[in-house]
Amino acid sequence: MSGTQLNAKVIPLPFPRPTRAGTGWSRTWRLSFSSPNGSESVDALRTSLTSAGFLASVEQVSELAINVIVHYATNQDPFSDENFVFRPREILRLVESSLGRIAQIEGVARTLWPPFRPQFSFMVSTSSPALVLERFVRNMLAQQQWNRGRIVIPGRPEALQVGTVNFATVNELGLKLSPADVTPQIQLVVFGDDLVLLAAEDSQTFHDDCEQLETLVEDQFDVGMALAS
Protein backbone atom coordinates (compact mmCIF):
# COMPACT_ATOMS: atom_id res chain seq x y z
CA MET A 1 0.00 0.00 0.00
CA SER A 2 1.40 3.37 -0.95
CA GLY A 3 1.27 6.28 1.42
CA THR A 4 2.74 9.54 2.49
CA GLN A 5 5.56 9.65 5.00
CA LEU A 6 4.44 11.71 7.91
CA ASN A 7 7.68 13.01 9.31
CA ALA A 8 6.60 16.56 9.93
CA LYS A 9 3.15 15.89 11.29
CA VAL A 10 3.29 13.13 13.85
CA ILE A 11 5.56 12.83 16.84
CA PRO A 12 6.69 9.20 16.99
CA LEU A 13 6.16 7.80 20.47
CA PRO A 14 6.99 4.23 21.46
CA PHE A 15 3.92 3.39 23.53
CA PRO A 16 4.75 0.13 25.31
CA ARG A 17 2.41 -2.69 24.42
CA PRO A 18 0.59 -4.60 27.13
CA THR A 19 1.64 -8.23 27.37
CA ARG A 20 -0.07 -11.24 28.85
CA ALA A 21 0.83 -11.77 32.49
CA GLY A 22 -0.81 -14.67 34.29
CA THR A 23 -4.55 -14.33 33.93
CA GLY A 24 -4.35 -10.62 33.13
CA TRP A 25 -2.03 -8.17 31.42
CA SER A 26 0.87 -5.99 32.37
CA ARG A 27 2.51 -2.98 30.76
CA THR A 28 5.90 -1.57 31.65
CA TRP A 29 6.84 2.09 31.37
CA ARG A 30 10.59 2.70 31.45
CA LEU A 31 11.41 6.12 32.84
CA SER A 32 14.69 7.86 33.47
CA PHE A 33 15.58 10.98 35.41
CA SER A 34 18.33 13.54 35.36
CA SER A 35 18.20 14.07 39.14
CA PRO A 36 15.71 11.94 41.07
CA ASN A 37 14.45 12.92 44.50
CA GLY A 38 15.76 9.80 46.23
CA SER A 39 14.86 6.18 46.83
CA GLU A 40 12.39 6.97 49.64
CA SER A 41 10.32 8.80 47.02
CA VAL A 42 9.72 5.50 45.26
CA ASP A 43 7.65 4.42 48.25
CA ALA A 44 5.70 7.67 48.01
CA LEU A 45 5.08 6.96 44.34
CA ARG A 46 3.80 3.46 45.11
CA THR A 47 1.35 4.98 47.58
CA SER A 48 0.14 7.67 45.21
CA LEU A 49 -0.34 5.18 42.36
CA THR A 50 -2.42 2.95 44.61
CA SER A 51 -4.44 5.92 45.85
CA ALA A 52 -5.18 6.87 42.25
CA GLY A 53 -6.57 3.39 41.61
CA PHE A 54 -3.67 1.87 39.70
CA LEU A 55 -2.64 -1.70 40.29
CA ALA A 56 0.99 -0.92 39.70
CA SER A 57 4.42 -1.82 40.95
CA VAL A 58 7.55 0.29 40.80
CA GLU A 59 10.89 -1.30 40.08
CA GLN A 60 13.99 0.76 40.75
CA VAL A 61 16.43 -0.10 37.97
CA SER A 62 19.13 2.33 39.04
CA GLU A 63 19.44 5.65 40.81
CA LEU A 64 18.42 7.32 37.58
CA ALA A 65 15.83 4.93 36.23
CA ILE A 66 12.64 3.19 37.26
CA ASN A 67 10.12 0.89 35.63
CA VAL A 68 6.46 1.39 36.41
CA ILE A 69 4.63 -1.86 35.77
CA VAL A 70 0.88 -1.48 35.46
CA HIS A 71 -1.21 -4.59 35.96
CA TYR A 72 -4.61 -5.17 34.43
CA ALA A 73 -7.04 -7.76 35.68
CA THR A 74 -8.82 -10.01 33.19
CA ASN A 75 -11.95 -7.90 33.33
CA GLN A 76 -10.03 -4.83 32.16
CA ASP A 77 -9.02 -4.09 28.60
CA PRO A 78 -5.48 -2.69 28.52
CA PHE A 79 -6.07 -1.62 24.91
CA SER A 80 -9.10 0.56 25.70
CA ASP A 81 -8.76 4.23 24.76
CA GLU A 82 -8.59 5.16 28.39
CA ASN A 83 -6.06 2.55 29.53
CA PHE A 84 -3.84 2.68 26.49
CA VAL A 85 -3.47 6.42 25.94
CA PHE A 86 -5.04 8.54 28.65
CA ARG A 87 -4.46 6.87 32.02
CA PRO A 88 -0.70 6.75 31.43
CA ARG A 89 -0.70 10.55 31.41
CA GLU A 90 -1.98 10.38 34.98
CA ILE A 91 0.78 7.93 35.89
CA LEU A 92 3.44 10.20 34.44
CA ARG A 93 2.12 13.17 36.39
CA LEU A 94 2.20 11.12 39.60
CA VAL A 95 5.74 9.99 38.89
CA GLU A 96 6.90 13.56 38.50
CA SER A 97 5.17 14.74 41.63
CA SER A 98 6.89 12.00 43.64
CA LEU A 99 10.25 11.47 41.97
CA GLY A 100 11.08 14.74 40.28
CA ARG A 101 11.47 15.71 36.70
CA ILE A 102 11.51 12.86 34.20
CA ALA A 103 14.24 13.01 31.56
CA GLN A 104 13.04 10.31 29.19
CA ILE A 105 10.01 8.10 28.76
CA GLU A 106 10.69 4.89 26.86
CA GLY A 107 13.90 6.47 25.65
CA VAL A 108 12.16 9.51 24.19
CA ALA A 109 12.50 13.02 25.62
CA ARG A 110 9.85 13.90 28.17
CA THR A 111 8.86 17.05 26.27
CA LEU A 112 7.53 15.01 23.36
CA TRP A 113 5.07 13.04 25.47
CA PRO A 114 1.67 14.10 26.65
CA PRO A 115 1.03 15.50 29.20
CA PHE A 116 4.38 17.31 29.03
CA ARG A 117 4.40 18.41 25.41
CA PRO A 118 4.99 22.16 25.09
CA GLN A 119 1.77 24.09 25.31
CA PHE A 120 2.41 26.15 22.24
CA SER A 121 3.81 24.17 19.42
CA PHE A 122 4.15 24.96 15.80
CA MET A 123 3.85 22.00 13.50
CA VAL A 124 4.37 23.01 9.94
CA SER A 125 4.53 21.28 6.65
CA THR A 126 3.42 23.50 3.84
CA SER A 127 4.49 25.22 0.68
CA SER A 128 2.86 28.53 1.51
CA PRO A 129 5.00 31.66 1.74
CA ALA A 130 6.28 32.08 5.26
CA LEU A 131 5.29 35.70 5.15
CA VAL A 132 1.63 34.78 5.14
CA LEU A 133 2.04 32.75 8.28
CA GLU A 134 4.16 35.37 9.94
CA ARG A 135 1.50 37.99 9.27
CA PHE A 136 -1.12 35.69 10.63
CA VAL A 137 0.66 34.86 13.88
CA ARG A 138 1.69 38.47 14.45
CA ASN A 139 -1.83 39.70 13.80
CA MET A 140 -3.49 37.15 16.01
CA LEU A 141 -1.15 37.64 18.92
CA ALA A 142 -1.21 41.42 18.55
CA GLN A 143 -4.98 41.45 18.71
CA GLN A 144 -4.91 39.11 21.69
CA GLN A 145 -7.12 36.74 19.79
CA TRP A 146 -4.94 33.90 20.89
CA ASN A 147 -6.50 33.04 24.20
CA ARG A 148 -5.83 29.88 26.16
CA GLY A 149 -5.11 27.91 23.06
CA ARG A 150 -8.25 28.83 21.23
CA ILE A 151 -8.95 31.29 18.54
CA VAL A 152 -11.55 33.84 19.50
CA ILE A 153 -13.46 35.18 16.56
CA PRO A 154 -15.95 37.91 17.48
CA GLY A 155 -19.47 36.95 16.58
CA ARG A 156 -18.55 33.37 15.76
CA PRO A 157 -18.86 31.40 18.99
CA GLU A 158 -18.77 28.09 17.12
CA ALA A 159 -15.24 28.92 16.09
CA LEU A 160 -14.26 28.57 19.73
CA GLN A 161 -14.55 24.84 19.37
CA VAL A 162 -11.40 22.85 18.93
CA GLY A 163 -11.21 22.07 15.28
CA THR A 164 -10.11 23.15 11.90
CA VAL A 165 -10.33 26.77 10.89
CA ASN A 166 -10.07 27.29 7.18
CA PHE A 167 -8.71 30.28 5.41
CA ALA A 168 -12.17 31.66 4.75
CA THR A 169 -12.43 32.03 8.51
CA VAL A 170 -8.95 33.43 8.70
CA ASN A 171 -10.09 36.14 6.32
CA GLU A 172 -12.74 37.06 8.83
CA LEU A 173 -9.96 37.89 11.26
CA GLY A 174 -9.14 40.78 9.01
CA LEU A 175 -6.11 39.38 7.27
CA LYS A 176 -7.73 39.51 3.84
CA LEU A 177 -5.78 36.59 2.53
CA SER A 178 -6.63 35.77 -1.03
CA PRO A 179 -6.50 32.30 -2.53
CA ALA A 180 -3.43 33.45 -4.42
CA ASP A 181 -1.62 33.84 -1.10
CA VAL A 182 -2.16 30.33 0.07
CA THR A 183 -2.43 26.84 -1.25
CA PRO A 184 -5.84 25.25 -0.84
CA GLN A 185 -4.39 22.38 1.16
CA ILE A 186 -3.24 24.53 4.02
CA GLN A 187 -5.23 24.25 7.18
CA LEU A 188 -4.92 26.15 10.38
CA VAL A 189 -5.87 24.02 13.31
CA VAL A 190 -6.35 24.60 16.98
CA PHE A 191 -5.04 21.43 18.55
CA GLY A 192 -5.56 21.74 22.25
CA ASP A 193 -3.33 24.56 23.31
CA ASP A 194 -1.45 24.39 20.06
CA LEU A 195 -1.74 26.39 16.92
CA VAL A 196 -1.05 23.95 14.14
CA LEU A 197 -0.47 24.80 10.52
CA LEU A 198 -0.64 21.86 8.18
CA ALA A 199 -0.65 21.28 4.48
CA ALA A 200 -0.49 18.41 2.09
CA GLU A 201 2.95 19.13 0.73
CA ASP A 202 6.31 19.25 2.39
CA SER A 203 9.00 21.72 1.51
CA GLN A 204 12.45 22.03 2.99
CA THR A 205 12.56 25.71 2.09
CA PHE A 206 9.40 26.40 3.92
CA HIS A 207 10.50 24.26 6.83
CA ASP A 208 13.57 26.49 7.13
CA ASP A 209 11.41 29.60 6.92
CA CYS A 210 9.26 28.31 9.72
CA GLU A 211 12.25 27.82 11.95
CA GLN A 212 13.00 31.49 11.48
CA LEU A 213 9.40 32.29 12.23
CA GLU A 214 9.62 30.23 15.38
CA THR A 215 12.54 32.32 16.59
CA LEU A 216 10.80 35.51 15.64
CA VAL A 217 7.63 34.68 17.55
CA GLU A 218 9.53 33.45 20.59
CA ASP A 219 11.63 36.59 20.77
CA GLN A 220 8.81 38.99 20.16
CA PHE A 221 6.03 37.49 22.21
CA ASP A 222 7.86 35.58 24.89
CA VAL A 223 6.08 32.33 24.21
CA GLY A 224 7.65 28.93 23.86
CA MET A 225 7.32 27.25 20.49
CA ALA A 226 8.51 23.91 19.26
CA LEU A 227 8.91 22.98 15.66
CA ALA A 228 7.92 19.38 15.19
CA SER A 229 10.28 17.42 13.03
Partner 1 sequence: MGTVLGPPVFRFCHGTSRMKAALVLKHGLDQELAKTHQCGSTRPGSFHVFAAPAGLQLAYEFAQRHEPPHLILRGELPLGVFTDLIKLGAVVEERIIGSDASDPPQVVFFPPAYLVFNKSVRWLDPFIPPRKK
**Residues 142 to 161 in contact with partner 1, rule: CB under 8 A:** 149
Map residue 176 onto helix, strand or coil. coil
Q: 194-198 and 124-125: which strand pairing?
A: parallel
The answer to the question of residue 53 lying near partner 1 (CB under 8 A) is no
The reply on whether position 80 binds partner 1 by CB under 8 A is: yes
Is residue 167 part of the contact set for partner 1 (CB under 8 A)? Answer: yes
Residue 162 touching partner 1 (CB under 8 A):
yes
Strand order in the sheet with 164-165: 124-125, 194-198, 187-191, 164-165
Say which residues have a Cβ less than 8 Å from residue 76's Cβ, sequence separation at least 6. 24, 25, 83
Which of 66, 132, 190, 210 binds partner 1 (CB under 8 A)? It is: 190
Closest distance of CB 152 from partner 1, Å? 16
Q: Choose, by CB under 8 A, the member of 82, 212, 215, 220 that binds partner 1.
A: 82
Stretch that binds partner 1, among 1-9, 67-75, 131-139, 152-160 (CB under 8 A): 1-9
Q: Does 179 bind partner 1 (CB under 8 A)?
A: yes
Considering only the stretches 34-42, 48-56, 62-70, 165-173, report the one whose residues sit in contact with partner 1 under the rule CB under 8 A: 165-173
DSSP characters over 77-94: -TTSHIIIIIHHHHHHHH
**Closest of 66, 81, 60, 94 to residue 15, by C-alpha:** 81
Q: Does 1 bind partner 1 (CB under 8 A)?
A: yes
